[in-house]
Amino acid sequence: MPSVHRLTKSLVDALEPGSKTKLTYDGELAGFGVRVTPAGAKSWIVEYRAGGGGRTAPKRRMTLGSVKTITADQARRTAKDILARARLGEDPAAELAEDRRAATVADLSERFLDHVRATKKPRTGDLYEIYFRKHVLPALGPKRARDVTPRDVDRLHKRIGQTAPITANRVIMLLSGFFRWAGKGAQGEVPRDFAPTADIERFREAPRERYLTPDEFARLGDAIRQAETVGVAYEVDEARPTAKHARKPENRLRHIDPHAAGAIRLLLFTGARLREILHLRWDEVDFSRGVLWLADSKTGRKPIVLNAPALAVLSSLQKLRIGHYVIAGAFAGRDDEKPRTDLKKPWALVSERAGLSGVRIHDLRHSFASVGAGEHLGLPVIGKLLGHRNPETTQRYAHLADDPLRRASERIAAGIAARLGEPVAQSADVIPLNPERQTKG
| DSSP-derived pairing of the beta strands 22-26 and 3-5 | parallel
- DSSP state at residue 261: H
| The CATH fold of domain 3-100 | Double Stranded RNA Binding Domain (3.30.160)
How many angstroms separate the CA atoms of 264 and 354, rounded? Answer: 14
Classify burial at 213, counting beta carbons within 10 Å of its beta carbon; exposed 0-12, middle 13-18, buried 19 or more: exposed
| DSSP-derived pairing of the beta strands 59-66 and 253-254 | unpaired
Please, what is the average pLDDT of the chain?
82
How many angstroms separate the CA atoms of 104 and 57, rounded? Answer: 32
Q: Where in the chain is the domain with CATH 1.10.150.130?
A: 105-182
SS3 226: helix
**Range 261-281 average pLDDT:** 92
**Range 339-361 average pLDDT:** 92
**Range 67-82 average pLDDT:** 90
Cα 427–Cα 431–Cα 434 angle in degrees, nearest 5: 140
How many angstroms separate the CA atoms of 272 and 128, rounded? Answer: 24
CATH of 105-182, one of 3.40.50.620, 3.80.10.10, 1.10.150.130, 3.40.50.2300: 1.10.150.130
| Residue that wins the pLDDT comparison between 384 and 170 | 170
CA nearest 366: which of 393, 346, 405?
393
Give the end-to-end CA distance of the chain in Å, rounded to a whole number.
118
pLDDT tens, 84-128? 888 888 888 777 766 666 788 998 999 899 999 888 888 888 999
Amino acid at 96: L
Does the structure show a pLDDT above 50 at 431?
no
Q: What pLDDT score does 162 carry?
A: 93
pLDDT tens, 193-242? 899 999 999 998 876 678 888 899 999 999 999 999 999 887 766 667 66
Does the structure show a pLDDT above 70 at 273?
yes
Q: What pLDDT score does 337 carry?
A: 73
H or E element at residue 304: strand 300-305
Per-residue confidence at 338, pLDDT binned at 50, 70, 90?
A: confident
How many angstroms separate the CA atoms of 94 and 77, rounded? Answer: 20
H or E element at residue 381: helix 379-386
Cα 401–Cα 405–Cα 409 angle in degrees, nearest 5: 135
Q: Where in the chain is the domain with CATH 1.10.443.10?
A: 214-396
How many angstroms separate the CA atoms of 15 and 34, rounded? Answer: 10
Q: Percent of the chain beyond pLDDT 70? A: 79
Per-residue confidence at 436, pLDDT binned at 50, 70, 90?
A: very low
Q: What pLDDT score does 416 carry?
A: 63
pLDDT tens, 357-377? 889 999 998 888 887 877 777
Q: Buried b / exposed e across 25-52, counting CB within 10 Å, b at 16+? A: bbeebebbbbbbeeeeebbbbbbbbbee
DSSP 69-126: TS-HHHHHHHHHHHHHHHHTT--HHHHHHHHHHSPBHHHHHHHHHHHHHHHS-HHHHH
Per-residue confidence at 331, pLDDT binned at 50, 70, 90?
A: low
- Residues 430, 414 contacting (CB under 8 angstroms): yes
Least confident among 263-277, 284-298, 406-420: 406-420
Per-residue confidence at 435, pLDDT binned at 50, 70, 90?
A: very low
The highest-confidence range among 41-55, 209-223, 418-432, by mean pLDDT, is: 209-223
Q: What pLDDT score does 384 carry?
A: 79
Per-residue confidence at 165, pLDDT binned at 50, 70, 90?
A: very high
Helix orientation angle between 344-353 and 214-228, rounded to the nearest 10 degrees: 120
How many angstroms separate the CA atoms of 52 and 86, rounded? Answer: 6
How many angstroms separate the CA atoms of 209 and 370, rounded? Answer: 10
Q: What is the CATH number of domain 214-396?
A: 1.10.443.10
Q: Where in the chain is the domain with CATH 3.30.160.390?
A: 3-100
pLDDT tens, 134-145? 999 999 999 989
- DSSP state at residue 342: -
